[in-house]
Amino acid sequence: MEIDVGPLTKSQAEEAMSVCFMWKKIVKNPRLKLKNRYTGDIIFVIIYCLIVATMILYGILVDSMIMILLCGFALGLLCLVFGSIRSSYKSRDNLMGPTHNVKYILDNEGFESNSEIKRLIIKWDKMKFIRIEKNGIYIIPKEASGVVLGFPLEYKDRILAYVKEIGLDFEVYDMTARTK
């Protein structure tokens, strides 16, 4: 079976990134509710900026060299956090961009993923279960070296039928059933 996946919508890309960021927790608890990574990042940065601003103001008001040094350290950490968040937004944007065209080939042995950036071949025995979310269907790996395989939700019926047809015994966790 072949599936061509083009650029994702913003909600699909954010969900796919959240699944990738949380996959270790998802493997341990397949029914774990997915959290939007981007909302948490924004809240964290706002709180962190308020703390740093308070530290700087306090350091200036009391003329404390230690507090000013701590502020410098806190600003350095803030730069690292901004870099990490920027990287995650860039990854999300790449999933939505015109260059995100992936061709998946699924067969009895596993799947092959071909894109302009890279080519992956993964065997089915490396995968653990299938998880269905609001915007996509994800095949979750067993180990850290695995790759989360994600498809837009429109391919759900095709993928589930194919997995059943070739005799794979994956558990399916439909997270959309809880939200209706």
- Tell me, what's the pLDDT at 13? 80
Give the single-character DSSP code of 8. P
What CATH number was assigned to the domain covering residues 2-8+98-179?
Answer: 2.30.29.30
What would the two tokens of residue 75 be?
């600003």
Left if phi > 0, otherwise alpha if psi is -120 to 50, otherwise beta: which for 63? Answer: left
**φ and ψ of 123, to 5 deg:** -85, 150
Q: What is the pTM of this model?
A: 0.70
**pLDDT 10s per residue in the chain (180 long)?**
888 887 778 788 888 888 887 888 888 888 888 877 666 777 777 888 888 788 777 777 777 777 777 777 888 887 887 777 777 777 767 666 665 677 888 888 888 877 777 777 888 888 889 999 988 898 888 876 667 778 888 989 998 998 899 888 888 998 887 654
Q: Residue 104: how many CB atoms within 10 A of its CB? A: 19
